[in-house]
Amino acid sequence: MANIITRKSVMTLFSSPTCPMSHCARFVLHEKSITADIEYYDPNDPPEDLLELNPTGVSPTLIERDLVLYDSRIIMEYLDERFPHPPLHQMDPVSRATARMLIRRIDQDWYQLLDEILYSGEKKSARAKKLLRESLLSSASIFAARPFFMNDEFSLIDCVIGPLLWRLPDLGIDINTPNEEITQYAQRIFKRTGFKRSLSEAEKEMAEAPR
């Protein structure tokens, strides 16, 4: 890997090829057609030159000139503000604050369970799968109510939900419902050019979009 210090003028996103948080950041990059280098690495064995700028080695890490960001949600917000067109947040402060609270709720309710599924023992993982499926299904009417999640326009919220839904078939979680509300929503997200381009080779192999 080339030395990071020598190319700080180029925006670079260091990303795990399978981390859902990294996938969210990549989704925003491609949705907004931002010119940036995406470099994949193993978060369990981060390159030394990355560790010099981000001692945690956490994925994703965004580097642009002297700026180093290593929180997925902060990176997503930064990219949306740094490249305002097309906007992925509502313009008025109340709507933006509401969206941020909703993303926080999704992280607490759904991503926390996803972490347990991915990184816990078999017993705890099985329980988390059941809870995540039940929680998603209980929200089916919300997925069906509008074209995008609680919005008529595509937003950062969808950039958060899409990578989570993409992983469900590979994890053995069936979220099909009698009216396929969540599946239809997922298809709208997965068919977007930005989403297709955001997939790493490893993610392409995870699962097809739910049928």
Query: How far apart, in Å, are the Cα atoms of 165 and each of 13, 36, 151, 168?
Result: 22, 25, 18, 5
Type of residue numbered 1? M
Q: Which residues pair with 69 in a beta bridge?
A: 62
| DSSP secondary structure string for all residues of 36-76 | -EEEE--TTS--HHHHHH-TT--S-EEEETTEEE--HHHHH
Alpha helices (H) in the chain, listed in sequence order:
20-31, 48-53, 72-82, 93-106, 112-119, 122-138, 140-145, 156-171, 181-190, 193-198, 201-204
Strand pairing partners for 62?
13, 69
- In this structure, are residues 195 and 189 in contact, taking their beta carbons and an 8 Å threshold? yes
Residue 118 structure tokens: 């991915």
Q: Which of 19, 50, 103, 128 does the annotation list as catalytic?
A: 19
Q: Looking at the chain, how many residues does it have?
A: 211
Residue with tokens 């994949």: 40
Instruction: Mark whether 159 is an active-site residue.
Output: no
Known catalytic residues?
19
